[in-house]
Amino acid sequence: MKISVIGTGYLGATHAACLASYGHDVVALDVDESRVRTLAAGHVPFHEPGLDELVVDGLRTGRLRPTSDPAAIGDAEIHFLCVGTPQVPGGRGADLTALDGAAATVARAARQPCLVVGRSTVPVGTADALAARMETEAAVPVSLAWNPEFLREGRAVEDSLRPDRLVLGVADDAAYVTLSAVYAPVVAAGVQVIRTDRRTAELAKTSANVMLASRISVVNVLSEMCERAGADIGDLVRVLGSDPRIGPDVLQPGLGFGGSCLPKDTRAFVAQGRELGVESVALIHEVDMVNMRQRARAIDAVRRAWGSRRRVAVLGAAFKQGSDDVRDSPALDVARTLHHLGATVMVHDPLAAEAARRAAPELGYADDVESAVRDADVVAVLTPWEEYTGLDPVSLYDLAASPSVVDARGCLDADKWTAAGWRFHGLGRSSCA
């Protein structure tokens, strides 16, 4: 099938490369020419395991063609919209400027009847509005469907090739049949396909993110209860996770959620809920507030430990382990706030240091953990990279000016660090109260 993918970020580049691997003929369009050049040269401009290989393979077979020329998408039978939908500047809703631009590009370029499929995360009702607009703007018949993406950064290829479910939000049988054919290899592998209407498909994605965000904030409320009450959040989480109705996933207390999806999707959900008069959406607003308070609590823990010199080693800048993305990273946010509070901050991250340096050039950066920790008054672990879990507190003890560590992610072995002479402050543990 001839397919275009509009937008080649985390979602679009992964989607385009996966579609090419299914044997489709894919044109990947982006307005960012340097991104297109990078992809066309066989490189992925961000860290995503397995994606370089898929892109190289797609270029070699000629099934994947990155371009910045809108005319190149004219012959496609299906256009996937994969552009960003960030938080609106100065507000809390979703900014649909890029999506409107992508839809206008398709309307102008399409030379044959086509199916336009939204994959971006959007407020409910976006597809209906786009469909109405495209009906008047496009010179050819256009039908519109919504097919939200649930991939996780750091596992994008795996999640795309073997998703938990495919959600096809369609307005007619023809769109359903076409999308089932696009995803034939995934469907043949037995992946659950959920057919629904466009509005439910749009809402399914934001609802999934709201559920995940809520779970994280509830665990963080429990962790604060533990701090105040002198109880142990680690044992508490084990008890909860062993209840099959609750389950063990996404039950990690700590610095809370960040990245380019959960915070902005939670806020956009609340903004739209208020517009629609859903009073109980106040609960989800509080999920966001609890999440932001975790950053303040981590900052307080560091300030209690930093003494008069205020030299802080920050371990971790990425919004989560396994990613080089620092968009709305809680770790980088905390590091910047500490800097604004007068600290000398030295950051280490095994993968995201370059992205962090571009986003926060005012901070210091170290190539290895030892250099970051040398002469520090407090070490703050803000992203739970595996290599931090395995750190040797005995050898680091002599490097630090003062042996204080704040574990904001619950990823260190408190007993091991305490036995090596460190004052250990774990977010959500009674020592932080």
Show binding-site residues for NAD(+). 30, 35, 85, 121, 153, 264, 327
Binding-site positions for substrate = 150-153, 205, 258, 320
Q: Is 341 in the site for ligand NAD (CB under 6 A)?
A: no
Nearer to ligand NAD, 120 or 220 (CB): 120
DSSP at 87: B
* Among the listed residues 21, 67, 87, 105, the single contact to ligand NAD using CB under 6 A: 105
Contact 253, 219 (CB under 8 A): yes
Residues annotated in a binding site: 30, 35, 85, 121, 150-153, 205, 258, 264, 320, 327
Q: What is the distance, to the nearest Å, from the Cα of residue 122 to the centroid of all Cα atoms in its chain?
A: 15
Helix axes 282-305, 198-229, angle to 10 degrees: 40
Q: Closer CB to ligand NAD, residue 88 or residue 420?
A: 88
Of 147-155, 328-336, 384-392, 419-427, which segment contacts ligand NAD by CB under 6 A? Answer: 147-155
Q: Which residue's entry shows tokens 């142990």? A: 232
Token pair listed for 147: 């097919």
Determine which residue in the list 4, 10, 321, 393 makes contact with ligand NAD, applying CB under 6 A. Answer: 10
- Is residue 8 within the footprint of ligand NAD (CB under 6 A)? yes
Pairing relationship of beta strands 2-6 and 165-169 according to DSSP bridges? unpaired
Choice from 85, 126, 143, 294 touching ligand NAD (CB under 6 A): 85
The answer to whether the beta carbons of residues 81 and 116 sit under 8 Å apart is yes
In what side-by-side order are the strands of the sheet with 311-315? 364-365, 344-348, 311-315, 378-381, 404-407, 423-426
Residue 127 interacts with ligand NAD (CB under 6 A): yes or no: no
| 285 close to 272: Cβ distance less than 8 angstroms | no
Q: Does 15 bind ligand NAD (CB under 6 A)?
A: no
> What DSSP assignment string belongs to 150-207?
---TTSHHHHHHS-SEEEEE-SSHHHHHHHHHHTHHHHHTT-EEEEE-HHHHHHHHHH
The reply to whether 272 sits near ligand NAD by the rule CB under 6 A is no
From the candidates 82, 114, 226, 261, give the one annotated as an active-site residue. 261
Q: Which stretch binds ligand NAD (CB under 6 A): 31-39, 124-132, 134-142, 336-344?
A: 31-39
User: Looking at 99-107, 125-133, 170-178, 379-387, which segment touches ligand NAD (CB under 6 A)?
Assistant: 99-107
Alpha-carbon span 202 to 124, nearest angstrom: 5
Using the Cα atoms of residue 178, residue 182, residue 185 and residue 186 in order, give the sign of their dihedral. Answer: negative
Nearer to ligand NAD, 85 or 223 (CB): 85
* Interface residue with ligand NAD, options 1, 2, 22, 32 (CB under 6 A): 32
Q: Which two tokens stand for residue 250?
A: 């996404």
Question: CA 350 to CA 278: how far, in whole Å?
Answer: 43
Establish if 76 lies at the interface with ligand NAD (CB under 6 A). no
Q: Of the ranges 4-12, 282-290, 350-358, 385-393, which one interacts with ligand NAD (CB under 6 A)?
A: 4-12
Any contact of residue 159 with ligand NAD (CB under 6 A)? Answer: no
Instruction: Report the alpha-carbon distance of residue 24 to residue 18 in Å, rounded.
Output: 9
Classify 231 in phi/psi space as left (phi over 0), alpha (psi -120 to 50) or beta: beta
State yes or no: is 432 an active-site residue.
no
Element spanning 365, H or E: strand 364-365
Interface residue with ligand NAD among 4, 67, 252, 260 (CB under 6 A) is 260
Catalytic residue numbers?
261
Residues that bind ligand NAD (CB under 6 A): 6-12, 29-32, 35, 82-85, 98, 101-102, 105, 120-121, 149, 151, 153, 260-261
